[in-house]
């Protein structure tokens, strides 16, 4: 493993793999920049690096689609692999497998250093004008410009016992104020509640442009009050460097491109949203009041680069970062519970609404119906599983990261009678089809789709063989592949 220890280094390495296109023309932050980012995601193009954004402080740059899929058809997950410090040819199931062991690494606390790159420039109070940053107005219908889409928000509990890092969207409110979304069930929401209870403003630090591994761990739905900053040290095999903030006692990754510090108001609320969300929709009129984040200081590297994730219809970072983390955590939990599962994967195309679980049939001890129920119930009971509304259980002849195989198997192996519906399940209120009541209560109905083939493949007169190229004898297939061009194809 070779971790990349800063966002700057990540951008440089992406360039070496032809994963970046530098755009020198002036580009408008108002829709134009994100339209380019969206097209890059949707055509699996390199990540656009915007060198010249209209109206913004010269020298400030933006990297769009930081973990989009690669143009490299053989290794579409290069950016995920590099983010995790893994070989670029790591396949999607292998990424999930590796990342599923994250909760087991031995934590290594960060090293507090005196100075870091993020301190190269320091601005305080009225010196700060966030509107001069190259911050995008992302989607048609959004409520404002989104400053944070792929950075981390650092907060801690009032007693200092738990420091939390998460990726959460933050909208620009004014030159020195932000509108930060706080979802009660997320760790940010839990910590914010503690500050409200003691009647004090919660200090925060928003770090834009952190090590790619830090961004990956900040999107990982770890259970319990685990410290991401210690686990990432464990994952890297060495401590990460952190520096103290200027105006509060939070510590932030020393190589961060930009650090914005401040406190969350106890009394002032500001409108936030709508925002084009990971389900793929911008809910027009979906503006909500949220606590105002008051900015007191901003420090930054020279010529900082801001990452921008233009969430929406997949593939974008909600599936390549969050979805892979969710699948990894669930895979770890199901294995620990002794369930006979082979792999878990969230097909990118499902916008984090489907979890596919494949089963090692040789280890199966109960009937198909029972096993599907056990798997689905175990998934929904986990924190990571609370995000996923639908579980599809399949035989392990299917590669869950191959959407063609998944759709074929789901369509042809699932009998509608074999669907189990579970009511009153916890859910993130951002799932695409929830009604207002479900969003308010964060509870919904979830489904388990049992697509398992009959045990022992049915009776002898019903046995099936997959009718496709991969079912032909191995030697014949190899021979055909080798001769393919000679045939004239």
What amino acid positions are annotated as catalytic residues? 277
CA distance 130 to 170: 12
Q: Which of 221, 276, 307, 312 binds ligand FMN (CB under 6 A)?
A: 221
Q: Which stretch, 163-171, 203-211, 295-303, 464-472, contacts ligand FMN (CB under 6 A)?
A: 163-171
319 binds ligand FMN (CB under 6 A): no
Indicate the length of the chain as a whole number.
Answer: 489
> Which of residues 186 and 194 has its CB atom nearest to ligand FMN in the complex?
186
Helix (H) or strand (E) holding 35: helix 32-42
Q: Which of 61, 294, 317, 329 binds ligand FMN (CB under 6 A)?
A: 317
> Which of residues 171 and 392 has its CB atom nearest to ligand FMN in the complex?
171
CA distance 10 to 209: 10
Q: What values do phi and psi take at 204, rounded to 5? A: -140, 160
| Inter-helix orientation angle 324-336/92-99, to 10° | 60
282 binds ligand FMN (CB under 6 A): no
Strands 111-112 and 241-244, sheet pairing: parallel
CA distance 75 to 438: 39
Do 279 and 173 meet the contact criterion of CB atoms below 8 Å apart? no
> Which of residues 188 and 398 has its CB atom nearest to ligand FMN in the complex?
188
Strands 354-359 and 251-253, sheet pairing: unpaired
Q: Which of 34, 56, 70, 321 binds ligand FMN (CB under 6 A)?
A: 321
Q: What values do phi and psi take at 301, rounded to 5? A: -70, 165
Q: CB 375 → ligand FMN: shortest distance, Å?
A: 22
Cα 294 to its chain centre, rounded Å, is 26
331 binds ligand FMN (CB under 6 A): no
> Which of residues 187 and 251 has its CB atom nearest to ligand FMN in the complex?
187
301, with CB counted inside 10 A (0-12, 13-18, 19+), is: buried
157 binds ligand FMN (CB under 6 A): no
169 binds ligand FMN (CB under 6 A): yes
> Binding residues for ligand FMN, how many (CB under 6 A)?
22
Q: Which of 6, 263, 309, 372 binds ligand FMN (CB under 6 A)?
A: 309
Q: Which of 47, 92, 167, 359 binds ligand FMN (CB under 6 A)?
A: 167
**Lookup result for tokens 């903030």:** 245
Residue 190 has a CB neighbour count (10 Å cut-off) of: 16
**Lookup result for tokens 């031995």:** 106
168 binds ligand FMN (CB under 6 A): yes
DSSP 189: H
CA distance 204 to 195: 12
Q: Which stretch, 216-224, 290-298, 371-379, 448-456, contacts ligand FMN (CB under 6 A)?
A: 216-224
Helix (H) or strand (E) holding 163: strand 163-166
What is the SS3 assignment for 27?
strand
Q: Which of 7, 1, 2, 430 lies closest to 215, judged by CA? A: 7
Q: CB 124 → ligand FMN: shortest distance, Å?
A: 28
Q: CB 201 → ligand FMN: shortest distance, Å?
A: 20
90 binds ligand FMN (CB under 6 A): no
181 binds ligand FMN (CB under 6 A): yes
211 binds ligand FMN (CB under 6 A): no
> Which of residues 227 and 372 has its CB atom nearest to ligand FMN in the complex?
227
Peptide linkage before 274 cis (omega within 30 of 0) = yes
333 binds ligand FMN (CB under 6 A): no
Q: CB 255 → ligand FMN: shortest distance, Å?
A: 20
329 binds ligand FMN (CB under 6 A): no
- Interaction residues for ligand FMN, span 362-381 (CB under 6 A): none
Q: Which of 137, 204, 322, 354 binds ligand FMN (CB under 6 A)?
A: 322
Which residues contribute to the site for ligand FMN (CB under 6 A)? 150, 164, 166-169, 181, 183, 186-188, 218-222, 309, 311, 317-318, 321-322
């Amino acid at each position: 493993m070779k971790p990349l220890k800063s966002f700057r280094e990540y951008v440089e390495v992406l360039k070496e793999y032809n994963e970046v296109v530098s755009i020198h023309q002036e580009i408008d932050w108002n829709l134009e920049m994100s339209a380019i980012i969206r097209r890059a995601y949707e055509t699996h193009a390199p990540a656009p690096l915007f060198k010249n954004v209209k109206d913004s402080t010269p020298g400030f740059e933006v990297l769009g689609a930081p973990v989009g899929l690669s143009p490299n058809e053989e290794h579409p997950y290069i950016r995920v692999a590099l983010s995790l410090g893994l070989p670029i040819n790591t396949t999607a199931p292998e990424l999930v497998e590796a990342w599923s062991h994250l909760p087991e690494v031995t934590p290594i606390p960060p090293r507090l250093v005196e100075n870091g790159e993020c301190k190269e420039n320091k601005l305080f109070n009225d010196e700060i004008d966030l509107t001069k940053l190259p911050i995008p107005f992302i989607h048609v219908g959004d409520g404002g410009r989104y400053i944070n889409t792929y950075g981390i928000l650092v907060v801690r509990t009032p007693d200092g016992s738990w420091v939390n890092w998460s990726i959460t969207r933050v909208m620009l409110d004014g030159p020195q104020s932000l509108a930060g979304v706080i979802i009660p069930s997320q760790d940010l929401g839990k910590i914010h509640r503690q500050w409200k209870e003691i009647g004090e403003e919660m200090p925060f630090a928003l770090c834009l442009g952190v090590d790619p591994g830090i961004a990956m761990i900040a999107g990982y739905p770890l259970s319990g009050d685990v410290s991401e900053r210690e686990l990432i040290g464990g994952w890297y095999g060495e401590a990460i460097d952190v520096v103290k903030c200027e105006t509060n006692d939070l510590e932030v990754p020393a190589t961060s491109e930009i650090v914005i510090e401040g406190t969350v108001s106890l009394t002032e609320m500001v409108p936030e949203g709508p925002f084009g969300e990971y389900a793929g929709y911008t809910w027009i009129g979906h503006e909500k009041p949220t606590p105002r984040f008051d900015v007191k200081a901003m420090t930054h590297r020279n010529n900082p680069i801001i990452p921008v994730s233009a969430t929406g219809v997949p593939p974008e970072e909600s599936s390549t970062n969050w979805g892979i983390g969710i699948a990894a955590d669930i895979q770890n939990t199901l294995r620990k519970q002794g369930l006979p599962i082979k792999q878990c994967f969230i097909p990118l195309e499902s916008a984090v609404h489907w979890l596919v679980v494949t089963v090692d049939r040789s280890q199966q001890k109960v009937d198909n119906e029972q096993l599907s129920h056990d798997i689905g119930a175990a998934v929904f009971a986990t924190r990571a599983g609370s995000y996923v509304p639908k579980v599809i259980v399949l035989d392990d002849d299917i590669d869950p990261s191959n959407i063609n195989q998944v759709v074929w198997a789901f369509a042809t192996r699932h009998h509608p009678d074999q669907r189990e519906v579970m009511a009153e399940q916890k859910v993130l209120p951002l799932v695409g089809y929830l009604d207002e009541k479900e969003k308010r209560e964060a509870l919904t109905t979830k489904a388990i789709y049992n697509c398992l083939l009959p045990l022992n493949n049915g009776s002898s007169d019903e046995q099936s063989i997959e009718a496709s190229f991969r079912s032909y004898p191995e030697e014949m297939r190899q021979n055909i592949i080798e001769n393919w061009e000679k045939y004239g194809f």
